[in-house]
Structure 1
Amino acid sequence: KREVAISSSLPREKGWLTQHLYNYQGFWYDNHFLGGVIWAQQHFEARPTDTLLATFPKTGLTWIKALSFAIANRHNQDLPRHTLLTKNPHECVPFIEFFAYEKDPISALHALPSPRLLSTHIPYASLPRSVATSGCRIVCIVRDPKDVFVSMWSFISKVKYTDSDRPPVSLEEAFGLFSRGVSLSGPYWDHVLGYWKASLEYPNKVLILKFEDLKRETEPNVKRLANFLGCPFTPEEIDGGGLQEIIKLCSIESLKQMEVNKSGVFRMGTQSSGTVENSGFFRRGEVGDWKNHLSPQMIERLDRITEQKFEGYDLKF
């Protein structure tokens, strides 16, 4: 078991699902996730050809994984037998922090052929040093925090830990914690700003996509993603329907209907105690679903915090 022993010196708060969340380098993690973060910082070696999909939880990572995987591998994938039909996007694009829970994590990472497509929920300031020194690409998707909160609260009820049988917190209690920044990989606003500032400093290496833009203007944003990944669509591919094929294959509606995402189970590392059914990664995938769950007071509070935190940055949802 590779989970770290949590130092009693770390600040802690009540967890949403686990007993506690611990503050490490300014961000909050449960015991399981923190073990993966520290392992990645100590052992992950980025390659210049890597692409890291780095996001706050529940911002659209499953969708961006499917799109990125399909774009990067489109020349060696036959659509009727596409890997996404038999593997969940999180299997296709593994989390670097979950390698901590493999039997031989370093060998497992080294065995992945270049160019590697990887993912993480680790904040920018806490990324392994090699990510910056290697010059690898980073793609970050951001989303309205109101939708992020609702999606995160819905998701935690689907995660199972064999070493924890605590019921998840109520919507109201989770909202209070989220508003104070206490959530997995939170504070949300600090997490987003870390990658946003990096994209301003290194625009050729860090790409920010907004979930809302990807929903409203899918085609131009998928083209933008492909260009950044170094896999641009040719005019012939676009005219021949190749771009639309990938958009359709990777749509949230399409992913939901795939048999692997209806029945499979995702384990957070082979030696991990955490599991979630593949279907748990797919909810409504809509913009503005928060209207169905949050009170006017909750909406006003999150909007006020977001306006204060993002003041001076061109970050609006």
Structure 2
Amino acid sequence: MSAGIYWLASYPKSGNTWLRSFIFALQNQSTTDVTTIDINQLHTGAIASSRSWLSHGLGVELGLHSAEQIESYRSDAYRFIHSQLTEPAYHKIHDANHLCASVGHLCSPDACAGALYVARNPFDVAISFANHMGVSLDKSIGMMGTSDFALLADNKKYRPQVRQHMGSWSDHVTSWIDCDLPILVVRYEDMLNNSLVCFTQVSQFLHLSDDENSVKKAIAMCHFDKLKKQENMHGFKERPVKSKAFFRKGIVGDWQNTLSLSQVDRLITDHGAVMQRLGYLDDNMQITPLCYPTNI
């Protein structure tokens, strides 16, 4: 078993919460008739941008420090936390694994045991991200194509989370899948359409139980409909204020009924090369069946 930090990385609205729900379900199974999980108790780890977690790792309060200063400290915080761990730990991150001034990549090889990156078709990401941010589709697509885009970029102090550099969607993907870390890349579409195989790979990479019965039970415990029903009944503490719901549809191919042809063309123009690498476009830049709904 490899001890240390395993980053659960993704661009927002690509399946990170589902992934964490699966991990929590797998870690908290019992012989009792447990059929679901509590979405407001997903104790799988911290988020990398947590101000309090970074303060703990650095041993210093960050309230008076600028976003640039904090960013330069973050690798040191992760390095210290990683060095103290005696077993695997699973922490969420939405930042790109970008180069920080004078300190190398945000998440360096000596500050983690590996990374699991969840990718999703940017056609569907654009729709969910617009809902998440409370903006129009065109604004969402523009954010995804902006190389210096960041979350919480206004530099307000004392927020629970610090600024997160995203870059464009393509920048974000390549910053992780081309980094010098042990990495497993999974696609949201495979998580949905080939769940047992995909989540078994996830379990093996993260050194979790990978026997078929345990994986099947965990998948069932965090089925999208169950998570959405819980949010409808009890709310979800991770839902942004501007978003009507965190769990929206959770499907593949919603873009067909939502995006205009010009919006599809813009996303292909901005991200075609990376979409090809991930199998969303073929060698002729044509949309592949992976992007369309399938019977499951």
TM-score range, shorter chain: 0.5 to 0.7
- 1:117 maps to 90
- 1:249 maps to 221
1:179/1:124 Cα in 2 relative to 1: closer, same or farther (>3 Å)? closer
- 2:248 maps to 283
Give runs of aligned pairs for residues 101-250 of structure 1, distance below 5 A.
101=52, 105-106=56-57, 114-126=87-99, 131-157=108-134, 169-181=135-147, 182=149, 184=151, 185-198=166-179, 202=181, 205-234=182-211, 238=212, 241-250=213-222
User: Is residue 287 of structure 2 the alignment partner of residue 298 of structure 1?
Assistant: no
Question: 1:256–1:262: 8 Å Cα contact kept in structure 2?
Answer: no
Question: 1:262–1:278: 8 Å Cα contact kept in structure 2?
Answer: no
* Partner Cα distance (1:94, 1:145) in 2: 26
Question: 2:97–2:106: 8 Å Cα contact kept in structure 1?
Answer: no
TM-score (norm 1): 0.64
* Partner Cα distance (1:135, 1:264) in 2: 29
The secondary structure found in structure 1 opposite 2:185 is strand
Structure 2 residues without counterparts, runs of 5 or longer: 60-76, 152-165, 281-289, 291-296
> Aligned residues: percent identity?
22
1:65/1:131 Cα in 2 relative to 1: closer, same or farther (>3 Å)? farther
1:259/1:180 Cα in 2 relative to 1: closer, same or farther (>3 Å)? closer
User: Is residue 19 of structure 2 the alignment partner of residue 64 of structure 1?
Assistant: yes
AA at the equivalent of 1:54 = A
TM-score (norm 2): 0.68
* Partner Cα distance (1:277, 1:297) in 2: 26
Structure 1 residues without counterparts, runs of 5 or longer: 1-46, 158-168, 268-274
- 1:93 maps to 45
* Partner Cα distance (2:258, 2:49) in 1: 31
The Cα offsets for residues 278-310 of structure 1, whole Å up to 9 and x where unpaired, read as: 983211010111122211111122123322455
Q: How many residues align?
A: 239
1:102/1:68 Cα in 2 relative to 1: closer, same or farther (>3 Å)? closer
* Partner Cα distance (1:245, 1:136) in 2: 27
AA at the equivalent of 1:225 = V
- 1:6 maps to none
Question: 1:59–1:148: 8 Å Cα contact kept in structure 2?
Answer: yes
Question: 1:226–1:232: 8 Å Cα contact kept in structure 2?
Answer: yes
* Partner Cα distance (2:168, 2:33) in 1: 41
AA at the equivalent of 2:138 = E
* Partner Cα distance (1:278, 1:305) in 2: 26
Q: What is the CA distance between 1:52 and its match in structure 2?
A: 1.2
CA RMSD of aligned residues (A): 3.5
Question: 1:55–1:61: 8 Å Cα contact kept in structure 2?
Answer: yes
